[in-house]
Chain A
């Protein structure tokens, strides 16, 4: 009943808003700024797209339009209109739709799709038609090989992430809290690159993994790997994971009665969903990038607005970078208008202050955000490494699984 009413209210509100824009246009007022993107609503990429990117796009649009629209230099505020399509998690479909956005819809700006492979696929199109594309979910050492001047990667890359992992592990070992590290990685590009970076970073830190195991995408049973690590006396588990295998490994660790002092994993740990799934996930560590306690301007406001709009918290890694990419675009449009080469020039030469901290690009890579490690502590994913950015101190050994 209440659901229906809420739906009804939403529809009515939507209709009213539509009426509003219609009237706006009838009065000859601001033409909307048209922004195009595809996000996977179906297929395997839809999970990540729905957590990290989609909610931030719509939040930003709603916030800007509530203020009367996006401030465009010399033109005042213009409402934001999204032209968005489901790419079905298919690269060919995404490429085609970005061509459509560029040549048929002739949108003013473009936002990237979700995921590394998708960004690889559409980046050449954006580059060809001169659309700056600021990707918050592209992680790969191959990005720099692309050499596409209009493509920017906001997130920390494998070397930075693994550098942070090695940093905290080295300190914990020096404190005598751990001695044996083991790695399990998913054998696709992401896992393989992280694993290669891990080998280098661990070596530089004077550490060595006693065991390294790979497993395929869509794995259904990780207990053999975990039992093996447990039998070998491993006390620091490093999982270079995607969300489903991360959750599988976490639940199976408890089920095979293994609670290593350090449990450190890649994608998925920073999701509020993960915390809730494992009753707080107290003491679990993972890749971090942000939390509402960081000192960046607007961090807390962003967190609250996200919760208010979507009734769910942003994740503590890439979400804030998705929002930051929109803040960057917003500032550029305010200062140089919708002239895309000028936007590119500004992105290239400016250090931006965002909810995710300062961001500056050198050759398309964000050089301002270091790799970070976070740890769930009493409901918040505290940043525990590097020390300069820490919002908490690491708790090792982690408490027993809840």
Chain B
């Protein structure tokens, strides 16, 4: 009961936030919400299935560049939808090819995707359009962006929750535990994997499309490998097998790096690095693990025995 009340209050606070907060704090909230959406959607695929994906930057970049290309020619939520479709389509192709790969092979393949997309785009832009990069001259207002990203983060969390309780979700956990056994139990592993991968990519593409107007100028460097890494850090730091984990991880990392950046200009990376190391050594199951340890009634993970 108290939990539900707290949830409703949190939701109201998030909706009212732009009204109360200064533009700077609203922007910080926006950035953190975008990270939450990325981390949650990364974790609902990679957490249970244990396929470490480094393709986040590729899907995010595709969405962002799409917004930059269509610019102000289409009304607002359409670029976000386009970004989602774009991410989804890319993931379907890549998934069909790459989900045969396991562990590190999959990780490196997906990492290569962002680089491949970036350099192909540069090559295409230089050769065909003769210029590279786009200016976004009439971006939607900050309120619109905030609520768009809030919706995306909310949707990602709801998707993760629903997925967890569905047969599809259990199938993913089964794949993560032992893929061959899952297959012999009659799970269509390819469909489950590619489907979930594409769903998570849709969120990533949408977030990219929604955040693009913040930069005014976009070039193929938006296919930034650091987006992929950061997403992984956030999700793992919080605990990738829970829904709360990636949220906690994204909020923690976002606030921690902002505070470190403001207070310790020349030492912030040092602070961030040491924070990561301490958390890993002190909390074996991530930040969310700490929360569930403190709480009397933990929600147990459906952790299958291999």
Interface on A for B, CB 8 Å cutoff? 41-42, 84-86, 88, 91-93, 95-97, 99-100, 102-104, 116-117, 120-121, 123-124, 142, 145-147, 187-189, 192-193, 196, 214, 216
Contacts and interface: CB of A to CB of B under 8 A. Distances in A.
A86 B226 CA distance: 17
A189 B22 CA distance: 34
Contact of A100 (B24, B131, B215): B24
A85 B269 CA distance: 14
Nearest to B211: A92
A123 B217 CA distance: 10
B132 interface: yes
Given A41-B265, A92-B211, A187 B126 contact: yes
B27 A96 contact: yes
Nearest to B25: A104
Contacts of B122: 187-188, 216
A86 B268 contact: yes
Interface in B26-75: 27-28, 31
B130 A86 contact: no
Nearest to A117: B217
Name, among B22, B119, B137, B214, the residue most crowded by chain A CB atoms within 10 Å (CB to CB): B214
Interface of B: 22-25, 27-28, 31, 119, 122-123, 126, 130-133, 135, 137, 139, 211, 214-217, 219, 221, 261-262, 265-266, 268-269
Given A97-B24, A117-B221, 9 more contacts: A41-B266, A91-B214, A95-B27, A117-B215, A146-B137, A187-B122, A189-B131, A192-B132, A216-B119
Contacts of B23: 99, 102-103
A146 B126 CA distance: 22
Q: At the interface, is chain B mostly helix, strand, loop or mixed?
A: helix
A85 B132 CA distance: 29
A104 B132 contact: no
Contacts of A121: 214-217
Contacts of A120: 135, 215-217
Nearest to A97: B24
A97 B24 CA distance: 7
A121 B130 CA distance: 22
A147 B126 contact: no
A42 B25 CA distance: 23
A62 B25 CA distance: 32
A87 to B, nearest CB: 9
Nearest to B131: A192
Contacts of B130: 192, 196
Contact of A189 (B31, B119, B219, B269): B219
Given A96-B28, A120-B216, A146-B135, A85 B119 contact: no
Nearest to B22: A103
A95 B214 contact: yes
Can you list the 10 inter-chain pairs with the closest CB atoms, starting with the nearest? Answer: A120-B217, A100-B24, A91-B215, A96-B27, A103-B23, A99-B24, A189-B133, A104-B24, A99-B23, A120-B216
A147 B138 CA distance: 11
Contacts of A145: 135, 137
8 contacts: A42-B268, A42-B269, A95-B214, A96-B27, A104-B22, A104-B24, A145-B137, A187-B132
Given A85-B261, A187-B132, A214 B31 contact: no
Contacts of A146: 135, 137, 216
A92 B215 contact: yes
Contacts of B22: 103-104
B131 A88 contact: no
A95 B23 CA distance: 11
Nearest to B139: A124
A248 B22 CA distance: 46
B89 to A, nearest CB: 25
Given A41-B265, A142-B135, A187-B122, A92 B24 contact: no
Contacts of B27: 95-96, 99
Contact of B137 (A100, A117, A147): A147
Contact of A142 (B28, B119, B217, B261): B217
A95 B28 contact: no
Contacts of B261: 85-86, 88, 93
Name, among B25, B126, B266, the residue most crowded by chain A CB atoms within 10 Å (CB to CB): B126
Contacts of A188: 122, 132-133, 219, 221
Given A88-B261, A117-B219, A193 B24 contact: no
Nearest to B30: A96
A217 to B, nearest CB: 8
A142 B136 CA distance: 11
A95 B132 CA distance: 22
Contacts of A123: 216
Contacts of A99: 23-24, 27
A193 B219 CA distance: 13
A90 to B, nearest CB: 9
Contacts of A92: 31, 211, 214-215
Nearest to B126: A187
Nearest to B217: A120
Contacts of A116: 217
B62 to A, nearest CB: 17
Contacts of A187: 122-123, 126, 132
Contacts of B214: 91-92, 95, 121
A394 B217 CA distance: 38
Contacts of A41: 265-266
B126 A214 contact: yes
A117 B25 CA distance: 23
Contacts of B24: 96-97, 99-100, 103-104
A361 B221 CA distance: 31
Name, among B23, B137, B265, the residue most crowded by chain A CB atoms within 10 Å (CB to CB): B23
Contacts of A117: 133, 215, 217, 219, 221
A282 to B, nearest CB: 34
